[in-house]
Structure 1
Amino acid sequence: MKKLRDKIENYVAKVESRWKVLSVERQKFLTKVFFGSYVLLTIIVIISVFISTSQRSNTMSINHIDGVSKKSIKKDSGQNDAVEPFIKK
């Protein structure tokens, strides 16, 4: 775990030093590009959610899970015969 943390700290220090080497104008430009990409992605997701929820055919169906065995699983132990299940009537 300590090796992983050291690798991450070294990577962050390397990236930070590369960031500081860039000119201030370049840092501002890259910050604007990253922020603009984030805003564009957020708008696309919001529009996608709005479109998918506004459709009239948007219904939720609840079905049983396929692939699950309907047989009850019984373990081979001597206690299964001795203990009766509690059934509320």
Structure 2
Amino acid sequence: MNKLREKIEQYILRVEDHWNAISVEKQRLMTKVFFGVYVLITIIVIVNICVTKDQRSNTISINHIDGISKKPTEKGSKHNEIVNSSTKK
């Protein structure tokens, strides 16, 4: 666990050194671009949610559950005792 922490700390220090090596003007430009992309993605997600919400109907669809076995249960099975013990009779 300590090795992982040390590797993460070394990586963060390398990235921070690289960031500090960039000129202040480039740092500001990159920050503005990253923030602009973040705002654009946020707006797209909000619009997508509003559009899909308006298109959906407010009805709940209840369907039959497929995949339940039609085989009769075995009386002496340990698995059935565990499963049936929690069901209401």
Equivalences for residues 30-41 of structure 1 within 5 A: 30-41=30-41
**CA 1:65–1:16 in 2, change beyond 3 Å: closer, same or farther?**
farther
Q: Cα gap change, 1:76/1:11 in structure 2, threshold over 3 Å: closer, same or farther? A: same
Alignment of 1:10-49 (within 5 A): 10-49=10-49
> What's the offset of the Cα at 1:57?
4.1
1:76 correspondence with 2:77 = yes
Identity of aligned residues (%): 54
Q: Does 1:52 align with 2:52?
A: yes
Shift in alpha-carbon separation, 1:57–1:34, aligned structure 2, 3 A: same
Distance 2:72 2:16 in 1: 59
What TM-score do you get using the length of structure 2 for normalisation? 0.71
Aligned Cα root-mean-square deviation (Å): 2.8
Specify whether residues 57 and 36 from structure 1 end up closer, same or farther in structure 2 by C-alpha distance, changes over 3 A only: same
Q: 1:52, 1:58 within 8 Å by CA — same for their partners in 2?
A: no
Name the one with the larger helix percent.
2
CA offset digits 1:33-87 (Å, max 9, x no partner): 000000000000000000000115464424344334355766734xx4xxx8763
Moved more, 67-76 or 8-17: 67-76
